[in-house]
Amino acid sequence: MSNLNHEQLELALSRELVGALSELSDWGRSCPRPELLQAALAGVFQEDEMWEIKRHLSRCGFCNSLVIDLEQLDDDDLHDISLLRVRSRIDAGLATQ
Amino acid sequence: MIDFDAIYREQATAVFRYALRTVGNRALAEDITSEAFLELYRNLGSMEAQRLPAWLFTVVKNRAVDHWRKNAVELRYAQELRAPEVAPDAGRDVEAWLLGEPSLKPIHRACLVLHFVHGMTRAEIGKRLAISEVRVKGHLQYALQLLRKAWGCKDTGGLHVEPQSRTVGTCALEGIGGSPE
């Protein structure tokens, strides 16, 4: 499959769906970044810091489904490449100690 | 005596997953995970075995807190967010479709929301999800084809979701894109 075909298909679909997609981007203007959503749920922030994020999650189906999907995708992913990089950094660090 | 390599083998995946959740950035999560294990190595002599693996997760959390403190502007933005009291009806239609469409898998939903709601590029999504940009394109096309099928029915009684349907809509370019994986 060529990149050109990908681009043509996405462009054609985007044109047909311009109404629906513009609604999505309009909606997204009030959404916190995905990293903030995940960090809030991971308990990184103080209660007062994450109150608005939790409030947003309770009202936004897009963000709510996103954090659930990201959690599942991260669990499914074996992280092999990431863990190889982590191990090589550790080995490099240990070599200097 | 704590066996560093054994602890690494047993805990590295879980520590990395937690790091990824706390910062939402794969490269940074790799940094934080390796820092946590190096910190453990430096403290091996005085570390009590029963403090592990919780100690590693605490180090990761503290690193994540430092990261977000350095990005305080984003935090303030999030605190100042005011979600609309009543969301636009049209947005709610797409939201309902997204949550109810049985043919959408987590990877399709995530790509769609990250791209069209959060405005991330395909390259950024690929980096976050550890998949190629080409695969991101395929997932987006599949999701768009399903949305197209549902959206086409909007004028005749609302967005349409067909339970159990895995058939993508027909279009001039059908067959080139979309991966239901």
State the Cα–Cα distance between residues B170 and B137, nearest whole angstrom: 18
Three-state SS across chain A? CCHHHHHHHHHHHHHHCHHHHHHHHHHHCCCCCHHHHHHHHCCCCCHHHHHHHHHHHHHCHHHHHHHHHHHHHHHHCCCHHHHHHHHHHHHHHHHCC
pLDDT confidence of A77, banded at 50, 70, 90? low
d(CA B150, CA B91): 14
Residue B81 has a pLDDT of 54
Over 80: is that where the pLDDT of A38 sits? yes
Tell me the pLDDT of chain B (181 aa) as tens digits.
788 999 999 999 999 999 999 998 889 999 999 999 999 999 988 888 889 899 999 999 999 999 988 877 666 665 555 544 444 555 677 888 888 889 999 999 999 999 988 999 999 999 888 899 999 999 998 998 888 888 765 544 444 444 333 222 322 233 334 444 4
Mean pLDDT of A61-80: 84
Distance CA B61, CA B53 (A): 13
Q: B153 vs A18, B32, B112, B156, CA distance in Å?
A: 15, 48, 20, 5
Its ipTM equals: 0.80
pLDDT of residue B111: 95
> Average pLDDT, whole number, for chain A?
81
Q: Which of B142, B162, B148 is nearest to B101 (CA)?
A: B162
* Per-residue pLDDT, B176: 31
**Chain A environment of B17 (Cβ under 8 Å):** 74-75, 79
> When comparing pLDDT for A13 and B146, which is higher?
B146
Please indicate whether, in this complex, the C-beta atoms of A6 and B137 are within 8 angstroms of each other.
yes
B21 neighbourhood in chain A, CB within 8 Å: 38-39, 41-42, 71, 74
Say how many C-beta atoms besides its own lie within 10 A of residue B173's C-beta. 17
Query: Residue B175's pLDDT is what?
Result: 34
Locate the chain A residue with the closest alpha carbon to B14.
A75
pLDDT for residue A49: 74
Would you say residue A18 has pLDDT above 90?
A: no
The B residues from 68 to 87 touching A (CB cutoff 8 Å) are: 68, 74-75, 77-84, 87
Task: Write out the two tokens for A34.
Answer: 């995905």
**Would you say A55 and A32 are in contact if contact means Cβ atoms under 8 Å apart?**
no
Residue of chain B nearest A23, judged by CA positions: B91
Distance of alpha carbon B106 from alpha carbon B181, whole angstroms? 10
- Angle at Cα B142 formed by Cα A77 and Cα B139, nearest 5°? 30
pLDDT tier at A1, thresholds 50, 70, 90: very low
Nearest CB partner across the interface for A83, out of B16, B42, B128: B16
What local confidence, expressed as pLDDT, does residue B153 receive?
55
- Per CB-CB distance under 8 Å, the chain A contacts of B65 are 44
Beta carbons of B131 and A75 less than 8 angstroms apart: no
Q: Which residues of B touch A70 (CB under 8 A)?
A: 110
B41 against A81, higher pLDDT = B41
Residue A2 or residue A16, greater confidence: A16
Do the Cβ atoms of A32 and B68 come closer than 8 Å?
A: no
Residue A32 banded pLDDT, cuts 50, 70, 90: confident
- What pLDDT is stored for residue A74 in this prediction? 82
Closest residue by Cα to residue B112 from A71, A1, A20, A5:
A20
Q: What is the dihedral of CA A24, A32, B17, A51, to 10 degrees?
A: -130
Local structure of residue B99 (DSSP, 8 states): H
Q: Do A62 and B117 touch (CB under 8 A)?
A: yes
Which residue in A has a C-alpha nearest to residue B137's C-alpha? A6
Query: pLDDT at position B162, please?
Result: 40
Closest CA to A68 of B107, B40, B117: B107
Dihedral-angle region of residue B142 (phi above 0 means left; psi in -120 to 50 means alpha; beta otherwise): alpha
Considering only CB atoms, which chain A residues are within 8 Å of B155? none
Q: Which of residues 22-61 of B touch A (CB under 8 A)?
A: 22-26, 29-31, 33-34, 37-38, 41-42, 61
Q: What is the structure's pLDDT at B91?
A: 66
> In chain A, what residues touch B7 (CB-CB under 8 Å)?
none
Selecting from A9, A36, A89 the residue whose C-beta is nearest the C-beta of B173 gives: A9
pTM greater than 0.80 (yes/no): no
